Amino acid sequence: MRRAIISCAFLALFSGCTSIQLVSKYDETTDKEASAIQKKLSEFFVRQQAASTDAERSFARSQPFYQDVSASLNALQVRAGGIYKNSLTTGQLQLAEDNLAYLALLHKACITGNLSDIQRNAVRTQGVDASLDCRVQYGASADLSNRGGQVLNAALLPSVSSIFDQTFGAVIALELAKKRGEGDKK
């Protein structure tokens, strides 16, 4: 510890910098956008729970939600990727996008067995499939068309909702930590 601190002192002396930065600075847009996306997800889960017919719960009815949240997440990822020393947040947003892709696959009942590494890679590289079909290239177990009538198993809702709370809660928690003690001054 002592050696590390002395090294840092000399690093500062020779580089001429007055402080070091290991993690990006607080970004208000990331904080607000992550909160906004989380709100959309919460509203979606409430609508799913309150729905009284399969038509209301169907993927076809929810398609605009997937398109909207997917676009918002992509835009936020692009913004986060352009911020200096922000790899932790971009990693978190990638995980959030993966989970949205899995939610869409669950909703369309596109997964029929154990997830393979090929499927995981497809989800990671292709992102959310907001189409009405199941497509192997997006991580589905098989290519199937016209899946708009599929409904999300209601038993999944509490767990899935909790998972997204944790994911976006982590994004927001890290962003708030980047304020670096500003909250303690209030």
Under the binding rule (CB under 8 A), the answer on residue 142 touching other proteins is no
Q: How far is the CB of 67 from other proteins (least distance, A)?
A: 20
Stretch that binds other proteins, among 4-12, 41-49, 61-69, 126-134 (CB under 8 A): 4-12
Residue selected from 8, 46, 71, 118 as contacting other proteins according to rule CB under 8 A: 8
Under the binding rule (CB under 8 A), the answer on residue 166 touching other proteins is yes
Q: Which is nearer to other proteins, 19 or 52 (CB)?
A: 19
Give the dihedral sign, CA 142/148/154/159: positive
Stretch that binds other proteins, among 42-50, 76-84, 101-109, 143-151 (CB under 8 A): 101-109
- On the CB side of 121, CA atoms within 13 Å amount to 3
Q: How far is the CB of 82 from other proteins (least distance, A)?
A: 18
Under the binding rule (CB under 8 A), the answer on residue 122 touching other proteins is no
Please, what is the angle between helix 157-177 and helix 87-107, to 10°?
170
Under the binding rule (CB under 8 A), the answer on residue 164 touching other proteins is yes
Note the residues at the interface with other proteins (CB under 8 A). 1-2, 5-6, 8-9, 12-13, 16, 18-23, 88-89, 91-92, 95-96, 98-99, 102-103, 105-106, 111-115, 120, 141, 153, 155-156, 158-160, 162-167, 169-171, 173-174, 177-178, 180-181
